[in-house]
Amino acid sequence: SFSYIEDTIMLSARIVKSFVPLARNQILFGCVARNIETTGAALGLDKMGLNCPKVHRNLTYEEIAQHEEKNKEGVFTNTGAFEVDTGIYTGRSPQDKYFVEREPSKSNIWWSPIPPNKPVSEKVFNEVYGDVRKYMDGKEVYVFDGYCGANPKSRKCVRFITEYAWQHHFVTNMFVRPQSAEELRNFKPDFTVINTCKGLVNKNWKRQGLNSEAFVGFDLENKVALVVGAKYGGEMKKGIFGVMNYALPLQGILSMHCSANVGKDGDSALFFGLSGTGKTTLSADPKRFLIGDDEHGWDDDGIFNFEGGCYAKTINLSKEKEPDIWNAIKRDALLENVMVRPDGSLDFDDVSKTQNGRVAYPIYHIPNYKKNSMAGHPKAIIFLTCDAYGVLPPISKLTTEQAMYHFLCGYTAKVAGTERGIKEPVPNFSPCFGGAFMPLNPIVYAKLLGEKLNRHGTKVYLLNTGWTGGGYGVGKRMDIPVTRACIDGILNGSIEKSPLKHNDRFNLEVPTHVEGVDDNLLWPRNTWADKEEYDRVALKLAGKFVEHFKQFQVPGLPDYSPYGPQVN
- Which amino acids are annotated catalytic? 92, 238, 257, 275, 279-280, 294, 358
Name the burial class of residue 254, with classes exposed (0-12), middle (13-18) and buried (19+) by CB atoms within 10 angstroms of its CB. buried
Give the CA distances from residue 298 to residues 91, 258, 269, 375, 449, in Å, rounded to whole numbers and listed in that order: 28, 11, 12, 10, 9
Give the CA distances from residue 350 to residues 314, 317, 356, 368, in Å, rounded to whole numbers and listed in that order: 10, 11, 11, 30
Identify residue 358 by its one-letter amino acid code. R
Backbone angles phi, psi at 178, to 5 degrees: -60, 150
Buried b (16+ CB within 10 A) or exposed e, 379-411: bbbbbbbbbbbbbbbbbbbbebebbbbbbbbbb
Q: How many CB atoms lie under 10 A from the CB of residue 158?
A: 26
Backbone angles phi, psi at 532, to 5 degrees: -65, -35
Name the burial class of residue 486, with classes exposed (0-12), middle (13-18) and buried (19+) by CB atoms within 10 angstroms of its CB. buried
Contacts with 126 (C-beta within 8 Å, 6 or more apart), sequence order: none
Identify residue 333 by its one-letter amino acid code. A
The DSSP call for residue 397 is: E
Query: What string of H, E and C letters represents the secondary structure of 363-389?
Result: HHHCCCECCCCEECCCCEEEEEECCCC
Name the burial class of residue 175, with classes exposed (0-12), middle (13-18) and buried (19+) by CB atoms within 10 angstroms of its CB. buried
User: 162 has which bridge partners?
Assistant: 142, 195
